[in-house]
């Protein structure tokens, strides 16, 4: 059976995390700020490779 791998670059992961963070802030009511800010900060840190 062939193994299937899906890899993303760090820039793609960072942009995805930032977009997900912004969506969490504007979409969910419960814990939206915690999740949103975490994802945005994680994305920014991934962009600067820390």
Tokens representing residue 12 in the block: 């793609």
Alpha carbons 17 and 48: distance in angstroms, whole number: 13
d(CA 30, CA 32): 5
Q: What is the pTM for the complete model shown?
A: 0.51
pLDDT at 2 (0 to 100): 60
DSSP assigned state of 30? T
Q: Which residue has the higher pLDDT, 26 or 15?
A: 15
Bigger pLDDT: 23 vs 8: 23
Res 3 pLDDT > 60: yes
């Amino acid at each position: 059976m062939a193994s299937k791998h899906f890899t993303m670059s760090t820039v793609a992961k960072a942009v995805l995390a930032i977009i997900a963070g912004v969506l969490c802030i504007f979409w969910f009511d419960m814990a939206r700020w915690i999740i949103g800010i975490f994802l945005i900060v994680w994305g920014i840190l991934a962009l600067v490779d820390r």
